[in-house]
Structure 1
Amino acid sequence: MASVAVVQLKSSQDKQENLQASVNYIAKAATAKAGMVCFPEFQMAFSPGSQPPAELAKIAETVKGNFVATLCKEAKKHNVEVVAAIYEKGVGERVYDTAVIISCKGAVASVYRKLHLYDALGFKESKKLLAGKRIEKPIKTAAGNIGVMICYDLRFPEMSRLLAVKGADMLVAPSGWVQGPMKEEHWQTMVKARAIENGSFVVAPDQVGNIYAGRSMVVDPFGAVLLDMGQKEGMEVVELDMGRVAQVRESLPLLKNRRTDVYNLKG
């Protein structure tokens, strides 16, 4: 069994305030005997639409900066793995939307920069953010083999499929899912679909409040919703039976039944 804590956060514009909240949640997760704690996208700070790119760039840090270093220290102190999200220094006034996996020894095990920027439905993340250039291979953790995606990435099924084929049995998707017509329905559908089509757990911590939808979710490999946090800010711990992945993939062998020999459009 893997014990995973999911944090549904309402980030403020104050980076230090959000860092302290994160430190508190790591301690709380350890007290609850969770082996891993997963934070949402924009954990470092809420960036309102009116905030100029230059201002966000001042908030951003490198992966070796104080924000991640503090989380690494707390992960080691409490013997807890952490999936966190930061604004990483980029080029000029634009920054990367980056997720890091931190081991229980306090080491950064993986760094993933969001590939798909939310230039849709009236938003244009590319004004402030830079797109990453690669999918990071799944990382072996005590909770399972984790593949990381970020928010809008959920709408691109080829990414989760590649991670599953490469060995991911858990997809973690830190998100800041924006409210709007049908948006909660899209969120629930996407999270469940990514779980079902890959026979994997999906852990999707989301921002709540400000402009975000909440509804942080955990879905099992057959599509059962194990957690839906609604609109409540806070943390919940879910016990995941990782043996369920093998069971589902044996009875519903979607990965094996793929016809890669004909996946090539012609004419």
Structure 2
Amino acid sequence: MTAVAVVQFKSSEDKQENLRRSVDYVAEASAKKASIVCFPEFQMAFSPDSQSPAELSKMAEIVRGNFVTALRAAARKSRIGVVATIYEKGMNNRVFDTAVVISAGGTITSVYRKLHLYDALGFKESKKLMAGKKIEKPVKTQAGKIGVMICYDIRFPELSRLLTIKGADILVAPSAWVAGPMKEEHWQTMLKARAIENGSYMVAPDQVGNIYAGRSMVVDPIGAVILDMGQEEDMQVVELDMNKVKQARQSLPLLKNRRTDIYRLSAR
């Protein structure tokens, strides 16, 4: 068994306040014996429509900037892994939507830049954000081998399957899922589907408040919801039984039964 902390967060527009609260959550998660703590997308700050691309770009940081450096120090002090998200400086007044995996020793072990930008349902993230160009390999953590996606990526099953093929047992999807008609139903359905079709745990910390839906979830490898955080800001710790991953993949061998003689899935 391994314990994972999930933070359901309402980011303010104040980056330093969000960082202070994040550091406190890291310490709290460690005190509750979690091996890793997972934050939602846009942890660094809420970016309202009124904020210009230039203003967001000015607030953004490099991966080894103050925001991540402070979280690395907190991880090292509390001996706990962290999945964090930042606005990473890009080009031409646009930024990357970036997830950073930090080890319990404070080392950066993965940097993933969101591939699929939310240019849908009336939104156009590409006005402010740049799309990543690479799938990051799953990384070993104290919780297990994790593959990272971000929010809208959930709607593209190819990514979660590629991460699973590459060895992920836990899929972590920091999210800021915008509320709206049928949006919670989409969120729940796709998180369950990604878990079931890959025989993996699905860990999805979400933003709450502002324009976001909340409902941070953890789904087990056979599709059972073991955490649903509703609409409240909070941190919850859940235990993952990694034997369930092995059992699910043995009893429902979807990965083994793929017809790779007929079709293949690969990434550049």
Q: In which range does the TM-score fall when normalised by the shorter chain?
A: over 0.9
Q: CA deviation at 1:262?
A: 1.2
Q: CA deviation at 1:253?
A: 0.2
In structure 2, what is the equivalent of residue 144 of structure 1? Answer: 144
* TM-score relative to the length of structure 2: 0.98
Q: Which runs of 5+ in 2 are unaligned?
A: none
In structure 1, what is the equivalent of residue 3 of structure 2? Answer: 3
> Aligned partners of 1:48 and 1:228: how far apart in 2?
26
**What are the superposed Cα offsets for residues 194-239 of structure 1, whole Å, 9 maximum, x if unpaired?**
0000000000000000000000000000000000000010100000
In structure 2, what is the equivalent of residue 240 of structure 1? Answer: 240
Q: CA RMSD in A?
A: 0.6
In structure 2, what is the equivalent of residue 199 of structure 1? Answer: 199
Query: What letter is aligned with 2:214?
Result: G
> Aligned partners of 1:211 and 1:260: how far apart in 2?
42
Q: CA deviation at 1:263?
A: 1.8
The count of corresponding residues between Structure 1 and Structure 2 is: 264
Query: What letter is aligned with 2:153?
Result: D
Q: Which runs of 5+ in 1 are unaligned?
A: none
In structure 2, what is the equivalent of residue 223 of structure 1? Answer: 223
In structure 2, what is the equivalent of residue 168 of structure 1? Answer: 168
In structure 1, what is the equivalent of residue 84 of structure 2? Answer: 84
> Aligned partners of 2:254 and 2:120: how far apart in 1?
30
> Aligned partners of 1:144 and 1:31: how far apart in 2?
20
Q: CA deviation at 1:142?
A: 1.1
In structure 2, what is the equivalent of residue 114 of structure 1? Answer: 114
In structure 1, what is the equivalent of residue 134 of structure 2? Answer: 134
In structure 2, what is the equivalent of residue 14 of structure 1? Answer: 14
In structure 2, what is the equivalent of residue 158 of structure 1? Answer: 158
Q: CA deviation at 1:138?
A: 0.3
> Aligned partners of 2:29 and 2:44: how far apart in 1?
19
Is 1:35–2:35 an aligned residue pair? yes
Q: CA deviation at 1:2?
A: 1.0
* TM-score relative to the length of structure 1: 0.98
Q: 1:91 aligns to what SS in structure 2?
A: coil
Counterpart mapping for 1:19-98 below 5 A = 19-98=19-98
> Aligned partners of 2:5 and 2:215: how far apart in 1?
15
Q: 1:3 aligns to what SS in structure 2?
A: strand
Q: CA deviation at 1:261?
A: 1.2
In structure 2, what is the equivalent of residue 188 of structure 1? Answer: 188
Q: CA deviation at 1:27?
A: 0.7
In structure 2, what is the equivalent of residue 103 of structure 1? Answer: 103
> Aligned partners of 2:167 and 2:257: how far apart in 1?
16
Identity of aligned pairs, percent?
Answer: 74
Query: What letter is aligned with 1:84?
Result: A
Query: What letter is aligned with 2:256?
Result: K
Query: What letter is aligned with 1:83?
Result: V
> Aligned partners of 1:180 and 1:261: how far apart in 2?
41
In structure 2, what is the equivalent of residue 262 of structure 1? Answer: 262
Q: CA deviation at 1:92?
A: 1.7
Query: What letter is aligned with 1:34?
Result: A
**What are the superposed Cα offsets for residues 161-218 of structure 1, whole Å, 9 maximum, x if unpaired?**
0000110000000000000000000000011100000000000000000000000000
Query: What letter is aligned with 1:120?
Result: A
